[in-house]
Structure 1
Amino acid sequence: MKALLAALLASIALPLTAGAAAAQEAALESAQPPAPAPAVTPQNPPKLIVAISVDQFSADLFAQYRNHFTDGFARLLQGAVFPAGYQSHAATETCPGHSTILTGMRPGHTGIIANTWINQKAVRADKEVYCAEDERIADTDHSNYTPADWHLKVPTLGEMMKAANPASRVVSVAGKDRAAIMMGGHKIDEVWFWGGKNFISYAGRVAPPAVQRGQEAVAKLIAQPQEPLPVPGFCRPLMQPIAVGGQTIGNGRFARDAGDTRAFRASPALDGAVFAIAAGLIQDMKLGQGSAPDIISIGASATDYVGHGYGPGGGEMCLQMAELDKTLGGFFAVLDSWGLDYEVVLTADHGGHDMTERQQLRAMPGESRVSTDISVKAIGEAIGKQLGIAGPVLLGSEGDIYIADSVPANRRPAVKAETVKRLRAFPQVAAALTREEIAAAAIPATPPETWTLAERAHASFDPERSGDILLMLKPRVVGIAKPGPGYVATHGSPWDYDRRVPILFWRKGMAGFEQPQSVETVDIVPTLAATIKLPVKGLDGRCLDLDSGTPDTCR
């Protein structure tokens, strides 16, 4: 895959000088980590912030593979390493998680409570709303939508930088629209994301030359079949086939037929394309070379697609980690060859949990899939029949359960009480909390791993968008009743395997250290802001001192 990234970069990034090209080639071919940095952390502001989110890159994955990283991740391991970062809220999904990374605010403040929620006041027939759409646009629904930043209630770091100095440029590239939009914010100079067949943007936006070159290179790549990827030695023990959902997975090597865009999306090649386009935009826009600091956010989405489709515990994920390590290394090498002064933060929007069937084979017999009896529709119909209320009585989305607006006001308390009673009777249910119970909770000053379920739920509660009841399953109960192609494992629980993610900071010359104690992803923005001398206030996060010595980068 390093050859793939190099080929994409050659197509997307403009030609380098002979000396720079030679340096890039040597860096791309090297499998050794850079030499240890001298113990002097830079105090001057970096010119470019590179914020990377690896979708579904759990702290567990990081721990499993960190000793096998030899390239891009190996470089980041020389910086400030926080292996126990927390997406501290309960709604551990892609959109809420990405909304925390570059805002410094939890989902309860960003307004992004889930990937989708119910808006019963929406004028359209479809009341389910996607986090990165504008449901006010005619002839749309949550699966056929117009991408928009409408639902994000707070500014991102890029917006704060522009407010302080309009010369700052903000760029966002990702494998998912929600990643690009939630990390980029409302004032983005360039925003591009995978649209199913190629990279797209907001309606009417014209692709700049770097993106045009990227679109052409990706189209050519997809038009050709992909041979099975080679298997590194450390991945071979994990290449074990397992039958689940009418398919055999576990030992896949990302072979792909020509023209298969879905297979391309769920493969390391997607990340290669994202980073190559990001590099092209950095070069064309001369990011990091202006009078003000710039920021580019990069959403590497393939890990999430691999995790959902194959589970994070098999050979496919091992290959994905190996290839992503190479892709990061190639990307950093290119930035180095351009002589840029850049600062990197890498984290994740959420973690993940392996599929039930493989967990049961690996000493976890208590793993299970959620029962089909725990169905909002079925429970609502039963309650409607019991109480003599015409349906629908309940609406549900992503664990949030809403009492239908059509239920008479004097009957709503009885519906809520009966729904909670029925949910709490299921053995697989950890909690069914009412909106009143969640609203009454508060964010404690204690470490996030100690928070109660109500406190975790409060962190992603928005009274305008959250449901009347929040359903939370017990640990190790996978919320997929019937697995199938592309969907065998998931995330979204309030448990730490979904909440814990690594947070890694790196800059050339930085004196590295590791801090095993818990921090939060909302700490990223105040930390980065301090390094570029940008005052920020009113955020949920705190600044992390990135100097292991006496100097303090937060001052």
Structure 2
Amino acid sequence: MNKSVSRLGTLLLVVFIGISPAMAQRNKSKVKGPEKPKLVIGIVVDQMRYDYLYRYWDKYSKDGFKRLMGEGFNFRNNHYNYVPTYTGPGHASIYTGTTPAMHGIVGNDWYNRATGRNIYCAEDKSVQTVGSTTAAGQMSPVNMISSTITDELKLATNQKSKVIGLSLKDRGSILPAGHAANAAYWFDGSNGNMISSTYYMQELPAWVQAFNNRKLPEQYTSQPWTTLLPVAQYTESTSDDQAFEGTFTGEEKPVFPHNIPALRGKTFDILRSIPAGNTFTKEFAIEAIKAENLGKNTVPDFLAMSFSTPDYVGHQFGPNSIEVEDTYLRLDQDLADFLKFLDKQLGKENVLIFLTADHGAAHNPTYMQQLRIPAGNTNNGLMADSLKKHLNRTFGAADWVSAFVNQQVYFNHAVVESKKANLVALQEETVRFMQRFPGVLRSFSADALMKSHWSKGVGMLVENGYMPYRSGDVMVAFQPGWYENYGRGLPKGTTHGSPWAYDTHIPLLWYGWQIPAGESTVHTEIIDIAPSIAAWLRIQEPNGSTGRALLEYVR
């Protein structure tokens, strides 16, 4: 009787929920885990202004930038939300999802009060070079104090995911790869090799050694740099041979063709400053994907790559030069080749790609002045000397100032303490004094930054870039169009580091796995990239992340 009632109850329950036991079992077997891309690729273009996407549009091929924009999603209003806008902080912010105030990379280098010297963002004297006899490999991510999205992927998969960083610049490889990476590789111009450090490995993998043995830098620097198109067709740029363009060492004029074999010298460092540097980076990325079987794992892998050459070319020639335009037209070809390789190797539907930049670039002040647009350059040496003399007159003779770098004044705190001086008074007097110099918009004391909060504007950007024990005592913001000049005479080429749109407004393109075609002008920030990847991968965002996931806009 009880067994019959039990069977009847089960039957009624099954009828009630509208599914048979056999059907329930079949549905249970169909339940799958969430879909994820097989490989995530981060592409950072060093010193890429947002407008480069459109400035050279008519000359781009259909398979490079245009493919990324046409088949992917374009966030057209993407910005950095801090200063200074430099390479080290940029790469760290992209991958940590936060600002220098949290991840600690407050510049490419900064003044270290404990040692009395500048410290480089990736330096680590406790490790040794792998792949060269120079000190170029004494690098690691130890100075970055928050985790990266690449670290979080390693944690989420119990170290099963492979994470590799690569770039011509060490900081462009090391900081994105994070603390737990399988490897990071960068270029040593002394021997033309891709190298690493003992932080990651004791010797280069066989595939890296084989790649180095191909001697591509020797091949790439054995021919002149000529334009891809006839020079007359570079109508998006100023004419060749401008007074505000720099030259290669040993070159009389900044004009095409650039005789690279004659200018190379005894090293291969010149590869960094010609478009072939991008091609070299692309070839190494392809070899890394093939040799490490990236994207063939049971869990997602991550390749963090950075194209450094545009930064070298931009600094030397400026954003209006034919050299910069030619560099981007050739980078477009390299991207097209890379995307075609991914199609064959893994398929577009299995790879999630983002492309962005670590900062933009300012127009050269001399060029701007020719067009009667307000601009200028500061004399940092003069500013520092004048400040030292003023503080001596005001507070008494002493070595009050230790350094003036990254638009920041560092006081000698040991001297301040020995003199029993008021540190806040020194800061406030310096803020007032710096306002006297042409080109200075505002100055901020460290005391004000720690006591106040800005939700927008220059104050917010300075606050987001400030870390008490690594940043200076006074932060200086220059007017739009003005930038630092450490040399004498007219500045050549360009630089970056300011809070203005030409330095903060950079591309953000998403492409591949489950990314629809589209675009948005919603305001996004560079710190939104890492939490977006975390949301797509369904893993934890980096531990210092302050950005937001952008999935709702992409949908």
Same fold (TM over 0.5): yes
Match of 1:27 in 2: none
C-alpha spacing 1:360/1:216, structure 2 compared with 1 (3 Å) = farther
Aligned mates of 1:454, 1:237 — CA distance in 2: 35
Match of 1:425 in 2: 436
Identity of aligned residues (%): 26
Q: Show the 5 A alignment for 1:278-317.
A: 278-317=285-324
C-alpha spacing 1:525/1:399, structure 2 compared with 1 (3 Å) = same
**Count of matched residue pairs:** 493
C-alpha spacing 1:478/1:408, structure 2 compared with 1 (3 Å) = closer
Match of 1:396 in 2: 404
Aligned mates of 2:168, 2:515 — CA distance in 1: 30
Q: 2:203 aligned with 1:215, yes or no?
A: no
Aligned mates of 1:453, 1:240 — CA distance in 2: 36
Equivalent residue for 2:117, pick from 102, 123, 127: 127
Aligned mates of 2:207, 2:523 — CA distance in 1: 39
Match of 2:163 in 1: 170
Aligned mates of 2:52, 2:452 — CA distance in 1: 31
Q: Show the 5 A alignment for 1:180-259.
A: 180-197=173-190, 198=192, 199-203=194-198, 205-217=202-214, 218-222=216-220, 224-231=222-229, 234-236=233-235, 238=237, 239-244=239-244, 251-257=255-261, 259=264
Equivalent residue for 1:155, pick from 130, 143, 147: 147
Q: Secondary structure at the match of 2:234?
A: helix
C-alpha spacing 1:483/1:331, structure 2 compared with 1 (3 Å) = farther
Match of 1:44 in 2: 35
C-alpha spacing 1:456/1:547, structure 2 compared with 1 (3 Å) = closer
5+ long unaligned stretches in structure 2: 1-33, 129-134
C-alpha spacing 1:171/1:80, structure 2 compared with 1 (3 Å) = same
Match of 1:108 in 2: 101
**Partners of 2:245 and 2:317 within 8 A in 1:** no
Equivalent residue for 1:344, pick from 353, 373, 390: 353
The CA deviation string for residues 6-44 of structure 1, in whole angstroms up to 9 with x for no partner, is xxxxxxxxxxxxxxxxxxxxxxxxxxxxxxxxxxxxx83
Q: Secondary structure at the match of 1:457?
A: helix
Aligned mates of 1:364, 1:94 — CA distance in 2: 30
Aligned mates of 2:532, 2:147 — CA distance in 1: 16
- The one-letter amino acid of 1:79's match is G
- The one-letter amino acid of 1:540's match is T
Aligned mates of 1:322, 1:193 — CA distance in 2: 24
Aligned mates of 2:476, 2:125 — CA distance in 1: 25
Aligned mates of 2:552, 2:466 — CA distance in 1: 31
Q: 2:548 aligned with 1:542, yes or no?
A: yes
Match of 1:13 in 2: none
Aligned-residue offset at 1:443: 6.0
Aligned-residue offset at 1:110: 0.6
Q: Secondary structure at the match of 1:289?
A: coil
Match of 1:34 in 2: none
Q: Secondary structure at the match of 1:201?
A: strand
Aligned mates of 2:457, 2:119 — CA distance in 1: 28
**Partners of 2:95 and 2:148 within 8 A in 1:** yes
Aligned-residue offset at 1:179: 1.1
**Partners of 1:369 and 1:481 within 8 A in 2:** no
Aligned-residue offset at 1:532: 2.0
- With normalisation by structure 2, the TM-score equals 0.83
The CA deviation string for residues 289-330 of structure 1, in whole angstroms up to 9 with x for no partner, is 011100000010011111101001110110011010000111
C-alpha spacing 1:470/1:289, structure 2 compared with 1 (3 Å) = same
Aligned mates of 1:246, 1:208 — CA distance in 2: 39
Aligned mates of 2:492, 2:188 — CA distance in 1: 19
C-alpha spacing 1:441/1:282, structure 2 compared with 1 (3 Å) = farther
Q: Secondary structure at the match of 2:306?
A: strand
Q: 2:75 aligned with 1:75, yes or no?
A: no
Equivalent residue for 1:474, pick from 476, 479, 484: 479
Aligned mates of 1:326, 1:254 — CA distance in 2: 20
Match of 1:3 in 2: none
**Partners of 1:443 and 1:455 within 8 A in 2:** yes
- With normalisation by structure 1, the TM-score equals 0.83
**Partners of 2:352 and 2:512 within 8 A in 1:** yes
Aligned-residue offset at 1:346: 0.3
5+ long unaligned stretches in structure 1: 1-42, 445-450, 550-555
**Partners of 2:111 and 2:410 within 8 A in 1:** yes
**Partners of 2:295 and 2:346 within 8 A in 1:** no
Q: 2:346 aligned with 1:356, yes or no?
A: no
C-alpha spacing 1:509/1:109, structure 2 compared with 1 (3 Å) = closer
**Partners of 2:100 and 2:106 within 8 A in 1:** yes
Match of 1:530 in 2: 535
C-alpha spacing 1:548/1:365, structure 2 compared with 1 (3 Å) = closer
**Partners of 2:149 and 2:541 within 8 A in 1:** no
Match of 1:329 in 2: 336
Aligned-residue offset at 1:86: 1.0
C-alpha spacing 1:374/1:144, structure 2 compared with 1 (3 Å) = farther
Q: Secondary structure at the match of 1:95?
A: helix
Deviates further, 313-322 or 70-79 = 70-79
Aligned mates of 1:249, 1:51 — CA distance in 2: 37
Aligned mates of 1:207, 1:145 — CA distance in 2: 12
Q: Secondary structure at the match of 1:173?
A: strand
Aligned mates of 1:403, 1:359 — CA distance in 2: 34
Match of 2:457 in 1: 452
The CA deviation string for residues 411-461 of structure 1, in whole angstroms up to 9 with x for no partner, is 2344323322210112311111001222234363xxxxxx22221111111
The CA deviation string for residues 352-396 of structure 1, in whole angstroms up to 9 with x for no partner, is 1121222233x2442212145652244214422543222253422
**Partners of 1:249 and 1:310 within 8 A in 2:** no
Aligned-residue offset at 1:146: 2.4
- The one-letter amino acid of 1:80's match is F
Deviates further, 245-254 or 392-401 = 245-254
Higher radius of gyration, 1 or 2: 2
Q: 2:512 aligned with 1:507, yes or no?
A: yes
Q: Secondary structure at the match of 2:123?
A: coil
**Partners of 2:112 and 2:119 within 8 A in 1:** yes
